[in-house]
């Protein structure tokens, strides 16, 4: 069975600080990887996704993530955060073949202090 | 840009009552999903639906739950007799692909279900 671990439950940063949120997954086959963001009171939005190819993927709003297959990791990064990045961030995975369910991590709440 | 829509945005019901949550997936999408998020917890998969039948369901999706695509546009989740622990945000999602590598799922805004 698939599982996703997000080790940071709540991260507090000042504006302009750099961000890295950890995500590790467990699955025996080839996977698709996603980061979703949920702004307060809003629905899940896709930040970025990895299906294949270049393991460094760039998403919206200056976010990027790197897939490291040997470490089963897909960490989210942003060089300089803004107050508007305050949100809940979810890492998710599904199987590469077939329209499989998404398995989500527990989420990381990011609070940016102006 | 096409969006997944869900109604109502908030539903309050008494324990034991039936509720139907409605979703309109993006029009050319083929796979449909329901997920739920209990307050403070992670998003959990409930069920996937393709070609008018359930593709996969989780342990949460017991006999109290059912899904239906009654027409060409709506996708509904019915909870037959609600329990307090069914209180959660319910998200509908859809994806266009039949097989292949592009499995991005598009999520609706959610329905907050409160069971009292």
Asked whether the predicted pLDDT for residue B99 surpasses 60, the reply is: no
Distance of CA A85 to the CA centre of its chain: 13
* Per-residue pLDDT, B102: 62
pLDDT digits (tens, 9 = 90+) for B58-69: 999 999 999 999
Greater pLDDT, B91 or A27 = B91
Confidence of residue B103 (pLDDT cuts 50, 70, 90): low
User: Nearest Cα to A66, choosing from A57, A21, A78?
Assistant: A57
Asked whether the predicted pLDDT for residue B100 surpasses 60, the reply is: no
Min Cα distance B42 → chain A (Å) is 4
- State percent of chain B over pLDDT 70: 94
> A62 near A73, Cβ under 8 Å?
no
Asked whether the beta carbons of residue A90 and residue B42 sit closer than 8 angstroms, the reply is yes
Asked whether the predicted pLDDT for residue B79 surpasses 90, the reply is: yes
Asked whether the beta carbons of residue A99 and residue B58 sit closer than 8 angstroms, the reply is no
Give the separation between CA B116 and CA B98, rounded to whole angstroms: 40
Asked whether the predicted pLDDT for residue B101 surpasses 70, the reply is: no
Q: Does A41 touch chain B (CB under 8 A)?
A: no
Three-state DSSP state, B85: helix
Tokens representing B62 are: 């017991």
The two beta strands, A64-68 and A73-78, are antiparallel
> A102 near B35, Cβ under 8 Å?
yes
Distances (CA, A) of B86 to B10, B15, B27, B40: 13, 9, 29, 14
Split chain A (114 residues) into runs of 10 and give each run's mean pLDDT: 90 97 90 92 89 93 96 97 96 80 94 95
Pick from A43, A46, A90: which is nearest to B104 by CB? A46
Chain B positions contacting chain A at CB under 8 Å are 30-31, 33, 35, 41-45, 48, 50, 55-56, 58, 91, 93, 95, 97-99, 101-110
Asked whether the beta carbons of residue A107 and residue B108 sit closer than 8 angstroms, the reply is no
- State percent of chain B over pLDDT 90: 74
Min Cα distance A50 → chain B (Å) is 9
Q: Which residues are registered as beta bridge partners of A9? A: none
> B23 near B74, Cβ under 8 Å?
yes
* Per-residue pLDDT, B93: 94
Distances (CA, A) of B29 to A23, A94, B2, B24, B97: 29, 18, 11, 10, 7
Asked whether the predicted pLDDT for residue B88 surpasses 90, the reply is: yes
User: Nearest Cα to B38, choosing from B71, B104, B83?
Assistant: B83
């Amino acid at each position: 069975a698939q599982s996703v671990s997000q080790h940071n439950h709540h991260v507090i940063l000042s504006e302009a600080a750099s961000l890295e949120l950890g995500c590790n997954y467990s699955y025996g086959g080839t996977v698709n990887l996603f980061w979703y963001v949920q702004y307060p009171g809003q629905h899940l939005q896709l930040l970025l996704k990895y299906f294949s190819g270049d393991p460094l993927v760039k998403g919206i709003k200056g976010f990027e993530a790197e897939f490291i297959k040997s470490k089963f990791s897909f960490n989210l990064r942003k060089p300089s955060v803004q107050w508007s990045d305050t949100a809940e961030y979810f890492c998710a995975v599904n199987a590469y073949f077939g329209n499989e369910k998404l398995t989500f991590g527990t989420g990381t709440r990011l609070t940016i202090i102006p | 840009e096409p969006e997944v829509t869900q109604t109502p945005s908030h539903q309050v019901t008494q324990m034991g009552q039936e509720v139907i949550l409605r979703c309109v997936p993006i029009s050319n999408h083929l796979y449909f999903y329901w997920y739920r998020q209990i307050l403070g917890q992670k998003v959990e998969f409930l069920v996937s639906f393709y070609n008018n039948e359930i593709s996969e369901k989780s342990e949460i999706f017991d006999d109290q739950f059912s899904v239906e695509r009654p027409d060409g546009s709506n996708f509904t989740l019915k909870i037959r007799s609600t329990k307090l622990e069914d209180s959660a945000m319910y998200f509908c999602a859809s994806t266009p692909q039949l097989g292949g590598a592009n499995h991005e799922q598009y999520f609706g805004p959610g329905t907050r279900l409160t069971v009292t």
